[in-house]
């Protein structure tokens, strides 16, 4: 069974009487465990597609089936619940909460999921340990480098063990060495079974994935499997 | 979760310190003021509502038509009223006449103690339910030389162990020996009645028959109704009591619930027509306004800063927050700010209480054990939380994730129109308060500066004790020996607050049906020198003493008008079989507050009926004059300490509530303007920040500092002006009503509104330019580089 099935997905902005199309007839299936990279020129609709997949936005047309369930029929509350349960997000600008420490940033999604304090503590401790940022746990985002902030961003996204990790230009604000580090982390997570869909401009980042999709003018121009670059290269 | 919210709330408040400070200072100031005012209001409401006052206690008033046919209502009733009420109506279970006698000295072992007292029927205790600790009132009315004393009187005079040894003691006061008949628990402090002893009013009535007839009114009258008797059914029955007993035909009696007498003291057409309650209400609402204004600031500043929080809202929603948890978070933040502000406000209130008590002439205290106080606090907090918290929280929590993350937070979200409307509301309120304050000040200065027709400067009023009354001529001569004292006149009272009036004067051509009442004073021939009154015709009193056969009489122009005499000077008149001749007509002068018209007045020539001396002294010689009066007084070996006051103070005392209103209005207006400007400051600094880039680009394109300041300021200034246009008719409506309460008042003038309006705009402009100039002066390179 496909994890994600998109059929004829369409999305547009209204500008007065005119529709300005962002996505037209997108058909896309994603299997569990894939590492998909979406590329394309600016304005091609990459981020919109990612938001639709992540249930942050709704398409104007087409159907979206997630884990065999048609999402059009769901109410807003249920969509939010699906989002909460299965999706993790990583942003180009990290989007950490400035007033919270590293520890608290990572802990917050657990709070919203009603996880008890003790369990929360051990989950956060594990992930801090795994991402090698234990020493930074009491710092605020502004005290970290970009790479470190994104590391926290990824940690926050995966701590709830999402099925799908959605990343919108996760290395766009980082220099190449930090970027490589994040991409290697993605590869590791993917090997552990997390489905990853990333949007990027970087050819190099695309090499980490197992599938490459190119968007242009709202259509899928190219959809091909690639042999992932070894993470230990 | 709560802990988490709490943490982030504190960090957010700390991070945006200036924002928090603006928000909190507005809240703290307004909460402090409103707390003080609410305490004052609560105190006002408690007056005359003591333990027993919810029972059927009523005060009896008398009503009569004046010269113009208006119905006047006064507290002073004829003396026999209370006895007659008691005798004729079974519905009345107790009745008393009441007249305060002021300070009186009691001598014991060469030591003088001064106590404030009253005379009344001894049923007074029954009427008000004041508890007798010792003694009883049984058959007591017959003991003319009896006295009841308060517990604190007993303690001060007889020592802490007074119990059981004061009854039957004889007290020595002002040449009389009075027997202690009982001791009563101290009168509650929240009663308008204040006395430490009660003497028998029947004794006074026997000694002063002229005062105790049906024809003269000088006593307050209180009654207590029987448990099942209804005041409404009783009222029509007592109406004509005075007329039926041979008093004036047009005089009718009415009753008012005693607990209403303090706040509802004004009567019109024989009906209760407000009173102090108006001021209590005005200031209650003014205090609410202040809270409202601070809440508006809170809303404006919070929504203006919403874009700062928008990113956080977006992220939280992405990582799983639902709307209600965000709502909870923001409400908690507002709650924390409220709680902190309230705490600070309480501390500030505590610090300011002595000054407030001074200003309000109260003895309010912050009683943290008082349940009402806490419910008041809870009420205020709830209002603030609802007004200031709910809207911004709803708005913040409603941001959609995609918009926030795409940085598509347009101005739409900053709810600029709502903020504009709220700024207008704020300035309408402060405009209303400011203009009203100025108008009140104008009326007060009119009161203080208007020519009264007599000169109230440099006059001392000195109370005459019995020892001096007997030798008043000698005393007067010794006073005048000083070069600092210019003239001295013995008078019944100074021409301030004249209430004594009679309808017994007869003159040729008087309509026998008419009940024209003429106010009166008694004085000696030097009255006109001391008070510098002007004569319109004839002369002032000439004789040194009242002559038995033909007494001199001086009247004012108003009296001459109502008497309608062709050639008043020289006309013979009479009163109670005493023949008199009018020797002069005085120009009208004010004998009462400006709330009242100038009334017909006559002055009898009765030098030996003086209760006080009015003494005119030389300018700038106040100390020397007082010193001379003191030494002269001392030479007469009077036991009582000398009691005197300055006529000017006495005059101002008449306008106590107006002066209080004036002070409070100034205070409110200042605070309101402060809070409004604080809000403006917050909004402009937000606007400047939001427009940093625009300002930078404009400057690169050649805009001057002036252009930029105008860009940032004009919107707000326009709002302030709109607010003033709205505030003006409101102010006219309220203040005209206030002024109409004065028989003599200023006219509202457009220039007042114009000047206050300009002042407010200027203040707003200064506030706004404080920020906008800084933004306009910034180097555009810096602001553009940030992008």
Question: Which of B53, B71, B77, B92 has the alpha carbon at shortest distance from B260?
Answer: B53
B509 within 8 A of B494, measured Cβ to Cβ: no
Position A49 confidence tier, pLDDT thresholds 50, 70, 90:
very high
B8·A95 Cβ contact <8 A: no
What's residue B155's pLDDT? 92
Structure confidence at residue B421 as a pLDDT band (50, 70, 90): confident
Query: What is the pLDDT, as a whole number, of residue B602?
Result: 92
B408 pLDDT exceeds 60?
no
Q: Cα angle vertex B492, ends B486, B498, to 5°? A: 105
- pLDDT, residue B296, reads 86
Residue B779 has pLDDT above 70, yes or no: yes
The residue with tokens 């989007």 is: A95
Q: Regarding beta strands A87-90 and B71-74, do their DSSP bridges make them parallel or antiparallel, or are they unpaired?
A: unpaired
- Residue B787: what pLDDT? 37
Q: Identify whether the C-beta of residue B594 lies closer than 8 Å to the C-beta of residue B745.
A: yes
* pLDDT in the model for residue B786: 47
What is the pLDDT averaged over residues B14-21?
Answer: 84
- Helix axis angle for A102-112 and A146-158, nearest 10°, is 20
Q: B404 phi and psi, to 5 degrees? A: -65, -45
What's the complex ipTM?
A: 0.81
pLDDT for the residue B411: 46
Task: Identify from B309, B320, B330, B401 which residue to disrupt to test chain A contact, counting A C-beta atoms within 10 A and taking the largest count.
Answer: B320
Residue B547 clears pLDDT 70, i.e. is over it = no
Partner A contacted by B15 (CB < 8 A):
yes
Q: CA B461 to CA B493: how far, in whole Å?
A: 9
Which range among A44-53, B374-383, B486-495 shows the weakest confidence by mean pLDDT?
Answer: B374-383
> Shortest Cα distance from B26 to chain A (angstroms)?
25
pLDDT band per the 50, 70, 90 thresholds, residue A233: very low
Q: Which two tokens stand for residue B51?
A: 């333990």
Average the pLDDT over A12-24 and give the result: 86
What pLDDT, on a 0 to 100 scale, did the predictor assign at position A186? 92
Q: Give yes or no for residue B618 having a pLDDT over 60.
A: yes
Joined tokens for residue A118: 């003790």
Among A24-33, A78-87, B327-336, name the most confident range. Answer: A24-33
State the pLDDT confidence band at B407, using cuts at 50, 70 and 90: low
C-alpha distances (whole Å) from A48 to each of A96, B134, B314 are 21, 92, 16
* pLDDT at site B546: 59
Instruction: Give the closest of B8, B312, B319 to A109, CB-based.
Output: B319
> Is the CB of residue B20 less than 8 Å from the CB of residue B13?
yes
CB B433 within 8 A of CB B648: no
- Chain A residues near residue B322 by CB distance under 8 angstroms: 80, 112
Residue of chain A with shortest Cα separation from B318: A89
Can you tell me the mean pLDDT for B672-699?
81
Mean pLDDT of A2-23: 88
Strand partners, A195: A164
Token pair listed for A133: 């940022």
Report which of B153, B101, B94 is spatially closest to residue B121, judged by C-alpha positions. Answer: B94
Q: Give yes or no for B227 touching A (CB within 8 A).
A: no
Cα A119 to Cα A114: distance, rounded to the nearest angstrom: 11
Q: Two tokens at B514?
A: 């008419």
Closest by CA to B144, choosing from B178, B103, B182, B183, is B178
Beta carbons of B8 and A100 less than 8 Å apart:
yes
* Structure letter (DSSP) for residue B260: G
Per-residue pLDDT, averaged over B456-483, amounts to 87
* Residue that wins the pLDDT comparison between B558 and B174: B558
SS3 of residue B762 by DSSP? helix
Distance in Å, alpha carbon of A233 to nearest chain B alpha carbon: 33
pLDDT at residue B53 tops 80: no
Predicted confidence band of residue B147 (pLDDT cuts 50, 70, 90):
very high
Please report which confidence band the pLDDT of residue A195 belongs to, taking 50, 70 and 90 as the band edges.
very high
Tell me how far apart the alpha carbons of residues B15 and B39 are, in angstroms, rounded to a whole number.
35
Contact A95 B322 (CB under 8 A): no
Query: How many C-beta atoms lie closer than 10 Å to residue B710's C-beta?
Result: 16
Cα angle, residue B558 at apex, residues B553 and B562 outer, rounded to 5°: 90
pLDDT in tens, B59-83: 999 998 876 677 888 888 889 999 9
Mean pLDDT, range B647-655, rounded to an integer: 88
State the average pLDDT over residues B500-513: 82
Residue from B769, B766, B765 nearest B688 by CA: B769
pLDDT at position B415 is 65
Record: contact B4-A111, CB cut-off 8 A: yes
Q: Cβ–Cβ of B318/A113 closer than 8 Å?
A: no
Is B402 in CB contact (< 8 Å) with chain A? Answer: yes
* Residue in this structure with the two tokens 């507005």, named with its chain if needed: B26
């Amino acid at each position: 069974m496909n994890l994600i099935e998109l059929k004829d997905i369409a999305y547009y902005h209204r500008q007065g009487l005119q529709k300005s199309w962002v996505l037209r007839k997108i058909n896309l299936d994603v299997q569990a465990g894939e590492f998909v990279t979406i590329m394309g020129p600016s304005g091609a609709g990459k981020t919109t597609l990612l938001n639709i997949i992540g249930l942050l936005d709704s398409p104007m047309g087409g159907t979206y089936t997630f884990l065999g369930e048609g999402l059009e029929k769901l109410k807003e509350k249920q969509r939010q619940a699906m989002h909460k349960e299965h999706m993790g997000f990583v942003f180009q600008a990290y989007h950490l909460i400035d007033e919270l420490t590293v520890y608290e940033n990572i802990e917050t999604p657990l709070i919203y999921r009603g996880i008890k304090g003790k369990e929360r503590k051990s989950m956060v401790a594990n992930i801090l340990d795994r991402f090698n940022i234990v020493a930074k746990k009491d710092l605020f985002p502004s005290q970290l480098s970009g790479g470190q902030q994104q590391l926290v961003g990824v940690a926050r996204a995966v701590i709830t063990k999402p099925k799908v990790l959605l990343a919108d230009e996760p290395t766009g604000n980082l220099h190449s060495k930090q970027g490589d580090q994040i991409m290697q982390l993605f590869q590791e997570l993917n090997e552990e079974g997390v489905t990853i869909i990333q949007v990027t401009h970087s050819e190099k980042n695309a090499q980490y994935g197992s599938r490459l999709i190119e968007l242009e003018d709202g259509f899928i121009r190219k959809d091909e499997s690639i042999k992932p670059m070894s993470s230990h290269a | 979760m709560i802990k988490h919210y709490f943490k982030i709330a504190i960090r957010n408040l700390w991070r945006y310190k200036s924002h928090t400070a603006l928000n909190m200072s507005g809240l703290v100031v307004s909460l402090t003021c409103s707390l003080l005012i609410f305490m004052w209001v609560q105190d006002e409401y408690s007056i005359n509502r003591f333990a027993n006052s919810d029972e059927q206690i009523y005060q009896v008033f008398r009503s009569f038509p004046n010269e113009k046919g208006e119905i006047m209502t006064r507290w002073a009733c004829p003396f026999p009223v209370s006895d007659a009420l008691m005798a004729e109506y079974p519905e009345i279970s107790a009745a008393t006449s009441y007249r305060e006698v002021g300070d009186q000295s009691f001598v014991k072992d060469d030591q003088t103690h001064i106590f404030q007292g009253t005379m009344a029927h001894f049923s007074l205790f029954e009427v008000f339910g004041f508890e007798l600790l010792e003694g009883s009132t049984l058959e007591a009315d017959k003991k003319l030389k009896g006295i009841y004393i308060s517990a604190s009187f007993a303690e001060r005079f007889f020592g802490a162990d007074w119990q059981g040894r004061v009854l039957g003691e004889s007290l020595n006061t002002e040449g009389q020996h009075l027997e202690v008949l009982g001791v009563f628990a101290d009168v509650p402090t929240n009663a308008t009645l204040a006395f430490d002893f009660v003497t028998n009013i029947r004794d006074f009535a026997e000694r002063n028959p002229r005062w105790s007839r049906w024809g003269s009114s000088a006593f307050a009258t209180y009654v207590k109704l029987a448990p099942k008797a209804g005041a409404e059914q009783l009222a029509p029955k007592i109406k004509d009591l005075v007329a039926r007993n041979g008093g004036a035909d047009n005089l009718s009696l009415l009753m008012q619930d005693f607990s209403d007498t303090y706040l509802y003291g004004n009567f019109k057409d024989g009906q209760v027509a407000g009173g102090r309650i108006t001021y209590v209400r005005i200031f209650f609402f003014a205090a609410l306004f202040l809270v409202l204004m601070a809440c508006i600031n809170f809303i404006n500043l919070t929504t203006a800063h919403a874009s700062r929080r928008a990113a956080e809202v977006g992220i939280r929603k992405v990582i799983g927050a639902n709307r209600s948890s965000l709502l909870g978070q923001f409400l908690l933040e507002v709650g924390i700010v409220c709680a902190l502000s309230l705490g600070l406000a309480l501390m500030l209130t505590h610090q300011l209480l002595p000054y407030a008590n001074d200003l309000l002439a109260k003895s309010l205290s912050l009683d943290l054990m008082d349940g009402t106080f806490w419910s008041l606090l809870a009420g205020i907090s709830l209002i603030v939380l609802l007004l200031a918290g709910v809207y911004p929280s709803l708005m913040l929590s409603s941001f959609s994730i995609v918009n926030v993350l795409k940085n598509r937070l347009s101005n739409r979200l900053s709810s600029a129109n709502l903020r504009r409307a709220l700024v207008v509301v704020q300035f309408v309120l402060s405009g209303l308060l400011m203009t009203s304050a100025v108008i009140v000040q104008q009326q007060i200065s009119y009161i203080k500066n208007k020519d009264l027709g007599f000169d109230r400067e440099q006059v001392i009023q000195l109370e005459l004790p019995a020892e001096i009354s007997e030798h008043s001529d000698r005393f007067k001569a010794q006073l005048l020996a000083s070069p600092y004292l210019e003239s001295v006149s013995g008078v019944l009272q100074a021409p301030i607050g004249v209430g004594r009036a009679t309808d017994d004067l007869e003159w040729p051509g008087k309509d026998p049906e008419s009940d024209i009442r003429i106010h009166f004073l008694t004085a000696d021939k030097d009255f006109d020198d001391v008070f510098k009154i002007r004569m319109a015709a004839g002369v002032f009193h000439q004789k040194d003493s009242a002559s038995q056969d033909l007494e001199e009489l001086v009247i004012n122009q108003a009296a001459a008008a109502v008497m309608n005499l062709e050639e008043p000077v020289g006309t013979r008149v009479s009163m109670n079989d005493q023949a008199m001749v009018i020797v002069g007509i005085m120009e009208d002068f004010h004998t009462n507050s400006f709330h009242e018209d100038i009334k017909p007045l006559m002055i009898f020539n009765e030098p030996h009926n003086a209760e006080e001396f009015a003494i005119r002294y030389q300018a700038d010689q106040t100390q020397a004059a007082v010193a001379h009066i003191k030494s002269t007084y001392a030479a007469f070996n009077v036991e009582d300490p000398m009691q005197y006051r300055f006529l000017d103070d006495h005059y101002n005392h008449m306008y106590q509530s107006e002066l209080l209103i004036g002070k409070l209005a100034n205070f409110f207006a200042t605070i309101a303007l402060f809070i409004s400007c604080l809000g403006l400051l917050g909004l402009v600094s937000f606007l400047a920040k939001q427009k940093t880039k625009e300002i930078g680009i404009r400057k690169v394109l050649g805009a001057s500092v002036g252009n930029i300041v105008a860009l940032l300021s004009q919107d707000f200034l326009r709002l302030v002006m709109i607010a003033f246009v709205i505030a003006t008719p409101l102010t006219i409506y309220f203040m005209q009503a206030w002024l109409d309460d004065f028989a003599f008042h200023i006219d509202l003038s457009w220039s007042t509104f114009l000047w206050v309006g300009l002042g407010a705009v200027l203040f707003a402009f200064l506030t706004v330019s404080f920020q906008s100039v800084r933004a306009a002066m910034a180097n555009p390179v810096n602001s553009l580089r940030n992008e």
